[in-house]
Amino acid sequence: MSQNRHGFQIGTNELSRQCFTLRHKWWQDLLLFFIVIGVAVLQGIRACKSTVVPTRTMFGVLVEVHNERLMAWRRSKF
């Protein structure tokens, strides 16, 4: 009986650890996303008009990649 309970406990811990890793990865992705946007904006401000267009295209690519990831995550969840 104690072995079964112990096994169940291990299973629960495994599940919560997996959930935490998923959540951590999601926050990490979001943080990275904002950092990259911040860097792109700073570069655009520093170089002023010469890099406005490349920064915009870079931002567009980032948004597309983020949306694809979000859609893939939704597909895997449902």
Mean pLDDT of the region 7-15:
53
pLDDT in tens, 29-73: 888 889 888 888 887 767 665 555 555 566 777 777 777 888 888
**Taking Cα atoms as reference points, which of 43, 39, 42 lies closest to residue 62?**
39
Q: Any idea where the domains of the chain sit in the sequence?
A: 2-77
Report which DSSP code applies to 50.
Answer: G
Q: What's the CA gap between 29 and 37, in Å, rounded?
A: 12
| Per-residue pLDDT, 57 | 66
Residues contacting residue 52 through CB under 8 Å, at least 6 positions apart: 44
Mean pLDDT of the region 22-29:
68
Q: What's the CA gap between 76 and 78, in Å, rounded?
A: 6
Q: What's the CA gap between 17 and 8, in Å, rounded?
A: 14
Query: Does the pTM of the predicted model rise above 0.85?
Result: no
